[in-house]
């Protein structure tokens, strides 16, 4: 029996000035079929002080979000520490090692990309993207970031529209969350 590969998701984060914005599309595809168009792949954690967006297998991503929430309770207001501890568990735990997902997480101070191979990466220029359309969105966001004075949210919206117009696994049903340090 052939396996059906699940595709989809574009998650983009842009940090500009005193704000960070994370946006995600809503499309879930199974093979060549769109099975859901309005999935919520961006969520708030830690009482709203952290935004997390996920790409990959949904059940795996929910497991990781729960683990991250637990790490944030253990290390309040220490997003980087919580993410490093999660990445350690993700690499060493037999169950977690099999999870297929990536995450972008952000709070008022830091934006991080997490992967199952132990990566906890902070973007160099305030823009990062993951998922099937992540490179398209990140490229568009980088150009908009460097060539305009648009807000973080405006950059995310425009860059996600570019990704949706190029990537067949990305749509324009966006979930957008912003944290401002004002």
Q: How far apart are CA 128 and CA 13, in angstroms?
A: 5
Structural domains in the chain plus CATH codes: 6-173 (3.60.20.10)
9 is an active site residue: yes
User: Coil, strand, or helix at residue 157?
Assistant: helix
Q: Which member of 9, 111, 128, 142 is catalytic? A: 9
> Is there a contact between 140 and 150 (Cβ–Cβ < 8 Å)?
no
Q: How far apart are CA 177 and CA 156, in angstroms?
A: 10
Give how far Cα 139 sits from Cα of 9, 31, 81, 93, 103, Å: 16, 26, 29, 34, 18
Give the tokens for residue 49.
């002080």
Q: Taking the model in full, what pTM does it have?
A: 0.92
Query: Nearest 5 degrees, angle CA 129-CA 132-CA 136?
Result: 55
Instruction: Please report, in tens digits, the pLDDT of each residue of the chain (182 residues total).
Output: 344 344 578 999 999 999 999 999 999 888 888 889 999 999 999 999 999 999 887 777 788 899 999 999 999 999 999 999 998 888 777 766 677 778 999 999 999 999 877 889 999 899 999 999 999 999 999 999 999 999 999 999 999 999 999 999 999 999 999 999 87
Give how far Cα 140 sits from Cα of 62, 112, 128, Å: 28, 19, 11
């Amino acid at each position: 029996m052939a396996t059906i590969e699940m595709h989809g998701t574009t998650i983009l984060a842009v940090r500009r000035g005193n704000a960070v914005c994370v946006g995600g599309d809503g499309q879930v595809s199974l093979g060549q079929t769109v099975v859901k168009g309005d999935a919520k792949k961006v969520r708030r954690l830690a009482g709203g002080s952290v935004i997390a967006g996920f790409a990959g297998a949904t059940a795996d991503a929910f497991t990781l979000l729960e683990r991250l929430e637990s790490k944030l309770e253990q290390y309040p207001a220490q997003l980087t520490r919580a993410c490093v501890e999660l990445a350690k568990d993700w690499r060493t735990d037999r169950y977690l090692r099999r999870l297929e997902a990536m995450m972008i997480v952000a709070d008022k101070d830091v934006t991080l990309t997490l992967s199952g191979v132990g990566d906890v990466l902070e973007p160099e220029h305030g823009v990062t993207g993951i998922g099937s359309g992540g490179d398209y969105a990140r490229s568009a966001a980088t150009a908009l970031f460097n060539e305009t004075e648009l807000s973080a949210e405006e950059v995310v919206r425009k860059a996600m529209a570019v990704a949706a117009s190029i990537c067949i696994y990305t749509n324009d049903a966006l979930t957008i969350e912003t944290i401002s340090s004002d």
